[in-house]
Amino acid sequence: MPESLQPMERCLALARSALMLSNPNPRVGCVITTADGQILGQGHTQQAGGPHAEIMALRDATAAGHDVRGATAYVTLEPCAHHGRTGPCCDALIAAGIGRVVASLEDPNPLVGGKGFARLRAAGVNVEIGPGAEESRALNIGFFSRMVRGTPWVRLKVAASLDGTTALHNGASQWITSSIARADGHAWRARACAVLTGSGTVLADNPRLDVRELSTPRQPQAVVVDSRLQTPPESRLFATARGVLIYSSLSEDPAFLQRKAALEACGASVVALPGPGGQVDLAKMLRHLGEHGINELHVEAGQRLNGALLRAGLVDELLLYLAPLLLGTGRGMTDLGPLEMLAQGQPLEFGAVERLGADLRILARPPGRADF
């Protein structure tokens, strides 16, 4: 990391380095400096259950033999005030004699929200809030979504030809985009808590849906929307060590119960969430995933599940990879049903548009999705 970085920029860089590590905890960085900006200690959130950023920075300062009394702690989120799997960070800062805290944002966790700042102020610590707020929130959009809305941030990834085809009529789809784009897709899988697909994709592609193109400290959970439990027990989904969660409809049919037992024997958890038409209730599924600590949900499904999620207004962001190739009419990105008017289309706002090798990567959002 360049020495010249300002403390809060350094904090944000540290937070970014916890991108694949800290789930389901937020990605947070902390830097402790003297009044004239000399760095005494720094750190970022560790894996779930491990120390938070403030504790890592305090330990770093202690290891270097620095006295932090009267020092400033910069941190990208409000120091926690509750006993979770670790002790309250605000108390650790107070006990260490920190004189000033500069924090980007209040913690959206209802257990913390404002309490950390209040406790610091009550102990005589000078508190400033605001620097780096936008970047910190964007980096933790999934955590904010789960804390505020109770559901994950849903990012729908699609790889398509330039004319929007995701598979040929016969199902052939591997590979449309180049290896650089596919490796980038794995990086987005790695930052998510879970990767979700539909039974149609499991049957057509037998996908692994794990992270293989880069090293990762943890594999995202695999989630399949599969009303009738058609996922074969020998699916490659089960080859990677991590949780596999299958959402189904409810049935007392002996053949269904037999398939359920076979999937559970492979280590899958099967959760019945019956919805309209005997299919899985997608809104309830998101609430269930939120209750189980899923911050960012990375969807890699076919046009039917993509369309259902979009029609239900459950998609927050699209991650589109477009290859310089025309495939004509095959399977599309999303089945939105027959629309009669252009106004019935799903409006989007483009975010970053980048070249990745030969392909294009486009981030786009339905308007207002991050307004919570």
Ligand X SMILES: NC(=O)C1=CN([C@@H]2O[C@H](COP(=O)(O)OP(=O)(O)OC[C@H]3O[C@@H](n4cnc5c(N)ncnc54)[C@H](OP(=O)(O)O)[C@@H]3O)[C@@H](O)[C@H]2O)C=CC1
Which residues sit at the interface with ligand AOF, rule CB under 6 A? 159, 173-177, 181-182, 185, 201, 205, 207-209, 300, 321
Q: Residue 249 corresponds to which tokens in the numbers above?
A: 């409809």
Residue 42 or 227 with smaller CB distance to ligand X: 227
Q: Does 303 bind ligand X (CB under 6 A)?
A: yes
Q: Does 93 bind ligand X (CB under 6 A)?
A: no
Residue matched to tokens 């505020």:
148
Residue 182 interface partner, choices ligand AOF, ligand X, none, CB cut-off 5-8 Å depending on type? ligand AOF
Residue 185 interface partner, choices ligand X, ligand AOF, none, CB cut-off 5-8 Å depending on type? ligand AOF
Residue 226 interface partner, choices ligand AOF, ligand X, none, CB cut-off 5-8 Å depending on type? ligand X
Q: Give the count of residues interacting with ligand X (CB under 6 A).
A: 32
Of the candidate residues 136, 140, 161, 201, the single one contacting ligand X (CB under 6 A) = 201
- To ligand X, the closest distance from the beta carbon of 341 in angstroms equals 23
Q: Residue 75 corresponds to which tokens in the numbers above?
A: 């941190």
Torsions phi, psi for 304 (to 5 deg): -70, -50
Residue 199 interface partner, choices ligand AOF, ligand X, none, CB cut-off 5-8 Å depending on type? ligand X
Evaluate whether 199 touches 228 at the Cβ level (below 8 Å).
Answer: yes
Contacts with ligand X in 213-252 (CB under 6 A)? 225-228, 230
Q: Which among 22-30, 72-80, 124-132, 156-164 is the span making contact with ligand X, rule CB under 6 A? A: 156-164
- To ligand AOF, the closest distance from the beta carbon of 162 in angstroms equals 13
- Residues within the interface to ligand X (CB under 6 A): 158-160, 166-167, 171, 173, 176, 197-201, 204-205, 225-228, 230, 275, 279-280, 282, 300-305, 308, 331
